[in-house]
Structure 1
Amino acid sequence: MRKRRKTYSCGLEAALAVTGGRWKSLILWVLSHQGTKRFGELRRAATGISEKMLIQELKELELDGIVARKDFKQVPPRVEYSLTALGIELGEATQPLCDWGTKNIERIGGQPLQVEPAPPHRLEL
């Protein structure tokens, strides 16, 4: 885990130092709600992030002890990312903020993403 050399005025400042920016929070949310992901899966789930930015954010989250990286040493490369115990705790702590955003998305000038429901699965015999 990376040792930060800064004194924080409050816990919120420390938490924002770890999750600051648009992408880290989104990566945390994806791993909290969808579980372990490969790099490509994370990139598709975090719509709009560049490959370079995703690599950078994952490295920082790993250094801060939030994300664990598992390299399977295979060809083609296979790497998975998951939350550490510290990351799970942080994900749980951010859930009320997510709930607030969902509740007030329209009041703050946004609109919810419209996701079409998946068609029912049919079992072919």
Structure 2
Amino acid sequence: DATVNITELIVHIHQELASVAEAAQVVTDCNQSNAVNAQEVENNFTGISEGTEKISSVTGELMEIVKELETANSDIVENIQTISAVTEEVSAHANETFEACEVNSELVDSVSGIVSDISDKATGLHAAE
């Protein structure tokens, strides 16, 4: 009877050990899976870190481009203001030139009238001789 009990106890212990071995294998498999997942997460974070660095770099380059555009826009505005001032001066001179031409035209008309009168008087004097 004791032998049967011992045999049953050994069988039971053997079954429990097999169950423990199976549970240990499940834990080992889970640990391996977790290790793979942890490596994938690490790789993802590395990718995120590299992407963030790239974004930072590109943002810096973009800021430089925006500064250059701002400077160029300021230069354009300044040049437009200069062109506007020159155009105003040219317009003022054009008006002065036009007014001077009108005065000259009036003077030419006056001189032409005087010359015509002198010519008429010269003709009259010549006829009186």
What interval of TM-score do these two structures reach, taking the shorter chain for normalisation? Answer: under 0.3
What's the TM-score once normalised by structure 1's chain length? Answer: 0.18
Higher normalized contact order (CA 8 Å, seq sep 6+, divided by chain length): 1
TM-score, with normalisation over the residues of structure 2? 0.17
> Which structure is higher in helix share?
2
Q: Larger % of strand: which?
A: 1
